[in-house]
Amino acid sequence: MIGDVTTAAEVLTVHLGLELGLYRALAAGPVTAAEGLPGIAPRYAKEWLEQQAAAGYLDYEDGRFSLSPAHAEVLLDAESPYHVAPVTKLFAGMASVLPELLRVFRTGEGIPYEAYGRDVRHGIASVNRPMYLNEYTQTWLPSVPDLHRRLRAEPGARVLDLGCGLGASSITLAQAYPRVRVHGVDLDKTSVEEAQLAAAAAGVADRVTFEQGDARVAVGAFDLITVFEALHDMADPGEVLRAARTQLTDGGSILIADEKVAHEYAAPADPVERFHYACSVLHCLPATMAESPDSAHLASGTALRAPTVARWATAAGLSYTELPIDSPFWRFYRLARP
């Protein structure tokens, strides 16, 4: 228990370092405790530097604290496949609602997604973005050859990105496949607004659009519908898949990526499943239950297992294939009309 609390506390000290720009300052070169860190009160700077070296995040030699290139990549390089530092932002956001969690655990209510604030919104988006940049169009889609060909072909494919968040998946797809048009849908108004700004900044706003909306509501006809790490967050996943089925063009597919947990519950679990369960208790389940209190009994939680996805697909009249895409955190499924 002491070890777990120590680790959790150290995660928050990393969050401080990221939010205050302390690692960025250290990337410029080593410092002594006496030199301190820009914009930080000297006594706090000294304590944080010593704590970070004690925890192994910084190196310490001859009175100087430094950030190694390998650690700098994990902490600061937002495009690196090893950039997992945003999970500390996610953790801080989840911790911010603990008083509300104490209440809703007793009442059975939920906590709205927006109540978790910017830290959760950006934490999730930032930790997933490197996968989109480095794997989505380079590995995931080419591993499904007919889908890859359709996205490259004329006429350009229409893609619906459900639970699009801040839009990285939609924008990355449009950049890699210049003929496609992508429409992203998300329940969170702020996420949609930020996604629209991101599409404009990336120069793809003419082919990538976003709207605030419910994934259970049909919005058009699409050759591909994607649901990335979002199905487990939806209040009625079965209804989402039924709506998606009605929007597929002939030969169209639904591509789902969700948490890579065991096919059956067992305890103790591996580290990845433990991570997902902790996020489920603190964030995903409460946010889903707030979305639609009447559908709370349908909420899956973060530990969405493959047999559950298969069951939902069958009930929606869709075929189900588990794709052999290698990912440490996600499992991939392809659904289609039989």
Residue 9, domain CATH: 1.10.10.10
The 8-class DSSP code of residue 323 comes to E
Residue 47 in tokens: 């304590």
Residue 65 lies in a domain: yes
Confidence of residue 317 (pLDDT cuts 50, 70, 90): very high
> What integer pLDDT is reported at residue 185 of this predicted model?
98
Average pLDDT, the chain: 96
Domain co-membership, 72 together with 103: no
pLDDT at residue 179 greater than cutoff 70? yes
**In the predicted model, what is the mean pLDDT of residues 119-144?**
97
Domain co-membership, 60 together with 104: no
Residue 82 lies in a domain: no
Task: Indicate the residue among 76, 106, 123 that finishes a domain.
Answer: 76
Domain co-membership, 160 together with 182: yes
Relative to beta strand 158-162, strand 31-32 is unpaired
- The CA-atom distances, in angstroms, between 58 and each of 19, 26, 36, 80, 279 are 17, 9, 14, 19, 27
Residue 118 lies in a domain: yes
> What integer pLDDT is reported at residue 295 of this predicted model?
66
Confidence of residue 300 (pLDDT cuts 50, 70, 90): confident
Domain co-membership, 251 together with 146: yes
Task: Indicate the residue among 51, 76, 101 that finishes a domain.
Answer: 76
Torsion sign, CA atoms 87, 92, 98, 101: negative
Q: What is the pTM of this model?
A: 0.94
3-state secondary structure of 325: coil
Relative to beta strand 222-228, strand 158-162 is parallel
Residue 334 in tokens: 């392809």
CB 208 within 8 A of CB 167: yes
Look up tokens 């989402």; give the residue.
240
> What integer pLDDT is reported at residue 292 of this predicted model?
76
Please state, for a pLDDT cut of 70, what percent of the chain lies above it: 99
Domain co-membership, 208 together with 256: yes
Please state, for a pLDDT cut of 90, what percent of the chain lies above it: 96
CB within 8 Å of 7: residues ≥ 6 apart: none
Residue 314 lies in a domain: yes
> What integer pLDDT is reported at residue 291 of this predicted model?
87
Ramachandran quadrant class, 282 (left: phi over 0; alpha: psi -120 to 50; beta: rest): alpha
Torsion sign, CA atoms 51, 54, 55, 60: positive
Domain co-membership, 113 together with 65: no
Confidence of residue 299 (pLDDT cuts 50, 70, 90): confident
Confidence of residue 107 (pLDDT cuts 50, 70, 90): very high
3-state secondary structure of 336: strand
Domain co-membership, 122 together with 95: yes
| Total domains in the fold of the chain | 2
Domain co-membership, 133 together with 265: yes
Comparing CA positions, the residue from 252, 255, 258 lying closest to residue 276 is 258
pLDDT at residue 10 greater than cutoff 90? yes
Domain co-membership, 31 together with 98: no
Q: Which domain holds residue 63?
A: 2-76
Residue 38 lies in a domain: yes
Residue 83 lies in a domain: no
Residue 84 lies in a domain: no
The helix (H) or strand (E) run that includes residue 290 is helix 285-291
Give the burial string for 106-139 (b: 16+ CB within 10 Å, else e).
eeeebbbbbebeebbbbbbbbbbbbbbbbbbbee
> What integer pLDDT is reported at residue 296 of this predicted model?
66
Lowest mean pLDDT among 37-51, 135-149, 282-296: 282-296
Domain co-membership, 151 together with 37: no
**In the predicted model, what is the mean pLDDT of residues 224-231?**
97
**In the predicted model, what is the mean pLDDT of residues 246-250?**
97
> What integer pLDDT is reported at residue 298 of this predicted model?
75
Task: Indicate the residue among 24, 48, 76 that finishes a domain.
Answer: 76
3-state helix, strand, coil split of the chain in percent (to 5) is 55, 15, 30
Dist CA 241 CA 309 (whole Å):
10
Domain co-membership, 49 together with 97: no
Domain co-membership, 69 together with 218: no
CA distance from start to end of the chain: 50
CB 39 within 8 A of CB 71: no
Residue 223 lies in a domain: yes
Residue 139's CATH number: 3.40.50.150
> What integer pLDDT is reported at residue 236 of this predicted model?
92
Comparing CA positions, the residue from 165, 284, 176 lying closest to residue 226 is 165
> What integer pLDDT is reported at residue 134 of this predicted model?
96
Dist CA 338 CA 332 (whole Å):
19
**In the predicted model, what is the mean pLDDT of residues 286-299?**
80
